Amino acid sequence: MSEPAASRPPRRLVLGVSGSIAAYKSAEIVRLLQKAGVEVHCILTRAGAEFITPLTLGTLSGQPVTTGMFDEVTGGIRHIQVTRESDLLLVAPASGNILGKVAHGIADDALSTAIMASSAPVVFAPAMNTRMWESAAVKANVRLLEERGFLFVTPGTGSLACGEMGTGRMADPAEVVAFVLRQLGTEGRGRRLLVTAGRTEEDLDPVRFLTNRSSGRMGFAVAEAARDRGYAVTVVAGTTSVEPPLGVEVVRVRSAAEMARAVAARHEEHEIVVMTAAVADYRPRHVEPRKIPGRQRRLTLDLEPTEDVLASLRGKRAGKVTIGFALETEAEMEGARRKLETKGADCIVLNNPTRPGSAFGGETNEVTLLFAVGRTEVLPLSTKRRVAEEILRHAEEILAEKCTAGSASGPPVRRGGKTAVRPARRSGRGRTR
């Protein structure tokens, strides 16, 4: 199994903060990056220090802040050392001054020198007055930097610190961090993944509805793991008890019908679909327009089946991968195999919420993977993030096999039906180039 994020060497990022009033947003960027498991080292320019202090950035990042060209660390100069060990360099905010320096090869402070010495990708999040951003000089510098492979998070439009309205305000910290997280991923670069998450709600009357206890944690773990692998991720989410991860598109729905429509409209553009949502199996045949009076001696509900979102994809995803979930509390394997046969999925993930460590809303899960080719694999009790990483690994293997089979003259090779418990697999940290 893939190594958990907590024990892998963390992704490392250098955050350069230049002179702009938007420097106060860099504190939120540090917080969001750390929340996503990224180790942040800050370089603060002299002008940047007029807006935010080294103490603030150092406290939030938990790392020394570089402010001078000749700050020393063991084995070298700090700004060179942290750049050598980083996976990406982000400049946020990026002033017109730093853009001009880098565009014309000027390295007269720690940040400009670090950028010039970096072999990692560099992302600029510009922030400046509208007239500066639209000036001929800045436009020319941006074009030159883009031609050289530098990346930009386009500034937003709105009210600026100077009181004017226009384009030039730095993008929202969440938007900047989402962009950065996509760049840090590598395995799924260029691919798209759709995941359903959470629970649906089926109205009974204006104040009551039928639902279940799903929290959305498993679906969000899949979305987060895919995001970190570089996928463009769309989450179709019902009601959830936790917040979705940063850097993914979230489409909110309530009912099974709404989820079915959302998936039908989007699945074709996604190579991998993972259906973790706990979709209500039944809904009231008639929704009362007014609240049903309480304290009745007996109430009979007339229910009808809801849309089968997973089955609706059967036969529509040739050359792509569809993974479903089966929640069973008895005759587990029989129920999961029946679902695998009837839904047309490539894999069914079986889980039982009554098992120790696998309860609704928990951080861990124990699952069994049943594959359409006849193979079965048991994943021992693990964090939901680790389970998500293993699901993605298998999805990528299935996708690769389908691509190979599609280009070959013969039928795909089928594997034997073995059951195995996989030990933990360790994987090193790759650098984004």
Catalytic site includes residue 403 = no
Question: Quick check: 133 pLDDT over 60?
Answer: yes
Cα(41)–Cα(95) distance, integer angstroms: 19
Q: What percent of the chain has pLDDT over 90?
A: 67
Reduced to 3 states (helix: H, G, I; strand: E, B; else coil), residue 90 is strand
Spatial contact of 111 and 118, defined as CB atoms under 8 Å apart: no
For the chain, how are helix, strand and coil distributed in percent, rounded to 5?
A: 35, 25, 45
User: Region 239-247: what's the mean pLDDT?
Assistant: 91
**Confidence grade of residue 74 (pLDDT, cut at 50, 70, 90):** very low
DSSP reduced 3-state for 202: strand
pLDDT digits (tens, 9 = 90+) for 286-334: 999 999 998 888 999 999 999 999 999 999 999 999 999 999 988 999 9
pLDDT greater than 90 at residue 403: no
The 3 state secondary structure assigned to 354-394 is: CCCCCCCCCCEEEEEEEECCCCEEEEEEEEHHHHHHHHHHH
Q: Rounded distance, CA 1 to CA 337, Å? A: 23
- Please give the pLDDT value at position 428: 32
Q: How confident is the model at residue 86 (pLDDT cuts 50, 70, 90)?
A: confident
CATH 3.40.50.300 fits 192-290+298-421, yes or no: no
Query: Pairing relation of β-strands 376-383 and 419-421?
Result: parallel
| Residues 292 and 298 sit within 8 Å (Cβ to Cβ) | no
Q: How far is CA 178 from CA 57, 353, 391, in A?
A: 20, 32, 23
If we measure between CA atoms, which residue out of 219, 156, 223 comes closest to residue 188? 223
CA nearest neighbour of 277 among 374, 197, 395: 197
What integer is the mean pLDDT of 54-74? Answer: 84
Token readout for 201 is: 């709600």
Report which of 335, 395, 405, 404 is spatially closest to residue 371, judged by C-alpha positions. 395
Q: Which two tokens stand for residue 325?
A: 């979930």
Could you tell me the pLDDT band of residue 406, with boundaries at 50, 70 and 90? low
Give the model confidence (pLDDT) of 88-130 as tens digits.
Answer: 999 999 999 999 999 999 999 999 999 998 889 999 999 998 8
* Equal CATH topology for 11-184 and 192-290+298-421: yes
Burial class (CB in 10 A: 0-12, 13-18, 19+), 111: buried
- C-alpha 148: how far from chain center: 28
Q: Give me the pLDDT at residue 422, please.
A: 37
What's the CATH code, domain 11-184? 3.40.50.1950
Mean pLDDT of 131-135: 92
State which H helix or E strand residue 114 sits in: helix 110-117
Which of 22-31, 32-41, 402-411 is predicted with the least confidence, judged by mean pLDDT? 402-411
Q: Of 42, 162, 347, 403, which one is the catalytic site residue? A: 162
Give just the sign of the alpha carbon dihedral 5, 383, 251, 226.
Answer: positive
DSSP designation for 66? B
Higher pLDDT, 357 or 135: 135
d(CA 274, CA 5): 21
Burial 158-183 (b: 16+ CB within 10 A, else e): eebeeeeebbbbbbebebbbbbbbbb
Q: Are 214 and 199 in contact (CB under 8 A)?
A: yes
The pLDDT tens digits for 177-196 are: 988 987 887 556 678 999 99
Element spanning 275, H or E: strand 272-275
List the domain boundaries for the chain. Answer: 11-184, 192-290+298-421
Residues 6+ positions from 77 with CB-CB distance below 8 Å: 69, 70, 71
